[in-house]
Chains A and B, each alone.
Chain A
Amino acid sequence: MTDTIKPSAGPSRGRYRVMVAARTLLAIFGGYGLAAIATAFLSLTLPLDRSEAVASATLASFAIMAGAVIWVFSARSLGRAAIGLALPALCLGAGLWLALGSAGQPA
């Protein structure tokens, strides 16, 4: 995705722009979504006092988002990038759903 090979012809240039826009949107919303789910999941499940779990998870969340964004822009194709975000997000989301279900009872 370097600049040096940027196609200058009409249709492929348009395609390049669409691809950049798609990756950017995926990086922002996908990366944030993954980080948000991970933060909520870790806050509920880390074996610490709950205030400690929230502090640790929130501190780590931005590193998680940064990692996700780097992944989106380095993946070989947009599809791979999306799957790479969706899989962990689904796993964490399932875990979060379970954790939220048991959050009523003290662990």
Chain B
Amino acid sequence: MKQGFRQSMAWLHTWAGLVTGWVMFAVFVTGTATYYKTDISLWMRPELRAEAEYDVVRAAELGVAHLKVHAPKAMAWFIGMPQADNPLIGAYWMDTPDGEIGKALLDPATGAPTVARATKGGDFFYRFHYELQMPPAVGRWIVGLCAMTLLIALISGIVTHRRIFADFFTFRRSKSAQRGWLDAHNVTGVLALPFHLMITYTGIVSLSLMYMPWGMVSVYKGDELRFYAESGQMTTWRAAEGKPAEPAPLGPLIRRAQAEVSEPLEMVSINNPGDANATVVAVFEEPHGLAHRHPQIAFNAVTGEIVERTGPLKPAAHAYTSFVGLHEAHFAGPALRILFFLSGLMGCIAIASGLVLWTVARAPKGMVRPAFGWRLVHALNIGTILGLPVGMASFFLANRLIPVDLAARDSWEGAIFFGSWLAAALIPLARPHRQAWREMAYAAALLFLAVPLVGWATTGWRTDFLGFDAAMAALALVFVLGARKVGRYEGPRREAARATGDLARA
């Protein structure tokens, strides 16, 4: 290990990138899809028609009426307001601080549970993005560990790739396959480097109090809510008194809160509902700005007086919330959103091409049977890079093809996502390398193309789904082009010999 800094960084880049690549590819793909979470959710609940505006007071009262019946013992209720891009009342409740959060989606017109098909919608990818659909504690730690490793891979990659500017615009598509993959890796990695660094670091920061709670623990003795309250991110939690009391009507409180804040109301939460010391908190949407900050006004639920307002954020808290805000990009309008989406896609391609590069650079020469490690990486590569898209397309198809009234239908959608992903990962094991890539790419293309067609056939053609349909068709096209590219690929013959040298220099 007595080599230069740059060589050890090249080693670190290769191996940190490899071990974290598969998980991070899935995280990047589902995270990129999450930029269009509301569009995905709307497409997946075709029964809904959005209205331009909703009566928030009525929505809050309908939510409370539902929760009074279904969660009378909860320690907190949260009622999400219906919006044009999410036309449902979200009624959530929490029984214990660490327990599962209960959820019901209500029709804003009637307050009854929605008739829209049961589906997790875009939330499925959103949750997968940081929990991998595992138990939250497990999934979040795995994603955090992989994100940290990716951060290391990024830093060591910058050190390794010293000719970062000389190669800035270089994409030699006519040269060898290895050069092509290397250039694709460099171009997508370097051009969107600010995004990659930002998204990785801010992603870790988004769950920082879970990963690195030691500052909060040493100063606040583990009282996380107090930290949030003191840094101006939310109002203080007021403990229950233990005596029941009749709450003041909700409508006037909401109107008074609205008179103070110009942003739309996002959510009303009621802490310790029914208690003499219950609190009503009006939570508003992010004001125009980078920070992920939701202004809040807290009322005493019984007397109706204002007990607390979140003030402006101090510098460090502002930086902290801006990190989270940058990650989520809620502030981005349609044009900027496209750029975020594009950068996210480049992240996916950078990771995928890096993974493929590892196998291409180490491809066995001639008739040699590849080592077990190489075959494992190859199988995982195709299983992830093409398996995940196959799973996503199948998930969309399942949304249209599973009967609307099937019991636990949203779990079936998830099962089909994982089932088809698994199938797409296993089938290639029985096929020769190159055919496997080509066939699976065509399969993914076919499935994505089928999504809008099946959508039209089952729920009719709708102009507001045009963007979604176009995106599916574009993805299908990308996979067709990819499959054709693999078909023309010469195979690793002479390039392989030069491989290791090239990589070390890159």
On A, residues with C-beta under 8 Å from B are 1-5, 19, 28, 35-37, 39-40, 42-44, 48-59, 61-63, 65-66, 69-70, 73-74, 76-77, 96, 100, 103
Does B403 belong to the interface (CB within 8 Å)? no
Instruction: Indicate whether B447 reaches chain A with its CB closer than 8 angstroms.
Output: no
Q: Is B215 within 8 A of A52, CB to CB?
A: no
**In the complex the two chains form, is A50's CB within 8 Å of B212's CB?**
no
The segment out of B5-13, B171-179, B325-333 that lies at the interface is: B5-13
Additional A-B contact list (13), CB under 8 Å, known A40-B214, A62-B211, A73-B11:
A1-B8, A1-B12, A3-B14, A3-B504, A4-B500, A35-B212, A36-B214, A44-B219, A51-B231, A51-B317, A59-B205, A70-B152, A70-B156
Q: Do B208 and A73 have beta carbons less than 8 Å apart?
A: no
| Cα distance A77–B316 in the bound complex, in angstroms | 38
Q: How far is the CA of A5 from the CA of B2 in the complex (A)?
A: 11
Known: A2-B10, A56-B316, A74-B8. A61 touches B148 (CB 8 A): no
Count the B residues whose beta carbon is within 8 Å of the partner chain — how many?
45
Cα-based distance from A17 to B334 in the complex (angstroms)? 49
Say if the beta carbon of B320 comes within 8 Å of chain A. Answer: yes
Docked-complex contact A53 and B215, CB < 8 angstroms: yes
Given contacts A62-B151, A62-B204, A65-B148, whether A2 and B7 have CB atoms under 8 Å apart is yes
CB distance from A72 to the nearest CB of B (A): 10
In the complex, the answer to whether B148 meets A52 with C-beta atoms within 8 Å is no
* Contact between B1 and A61, CB atoms less than 8 A apart: no
**Does A52 contact B314, Cβ atoms closer than 8 Å?**
yes
Docked-complex contact A50 and B148, CB < 8 angstroms:
no
Q: With both chains docked as a complex, state the minimum distance between the C-beta of A78 and any C-beta of chain B, in angstroms.
A: 8
Interface residue? B315 (CB, 8 A): yes
CB contact between A2 and one of B8, B155, B231, B232 (< 8 Å): that residue: B8
> Beyond A1-B1, A73-B12, is A61–B316 a contact (Cβ under 8 Å)?
no
> Closest Cβ of chain B: how far from A104's Cβ, in Å?
11
- Are A66 and B151 within 8 A (Cβ)? yes
CB nearest neighbor in B for A76: B2
Distance between B209 CB and nearest chain A CB, rounded to angstroms: 7
Contact partners of A58 in chain B: CB under 8 A: 205, 208-209, 212, 215-216, 320
Please give me the residue from chain A that is nearest to B217 by CB atom. Answer: A40
The 6 sampled A-B contact pairs (Cβ below 8 Å) are A1-B8, A2-B7, A3-B504, A4-B501, A52-B315, A55-B231
Chain B residue, CB-CB nearest to A64: B212
Q: Which residue of B lies closest to A67 (CB)?
A: B155
Contacts of B214 in A (CB 8 A): 36-37, 39-40, 43, 61
B84, CB-defined interface residue at 8 Å? no
Question: Which residues from B are CB-within-8-Å of A76?
Answer: 1-2
Q: State whether A49 touches B314 (Cβ < 8 A).
A: yes
Residue contact B152 to A51, C-beta cutoff 8 Å: no
**Bound CA–CA A74/B468 (angstroms):** 47
Determine which of B3, B10, B12, B212 lies in contact with A39 in the assembled complex, contact meaning CB atoms within 8 Å.
Answer: B212
Query: CA of A101 to CA of B419 in the docked complex: distance in angstroms?
Result: 55
A19 CA / B211 CA spacing, docked (Å): 27
| Chain A residues whose CB sits within 8 angstroms of the CB of B323 once the complex forms | 59
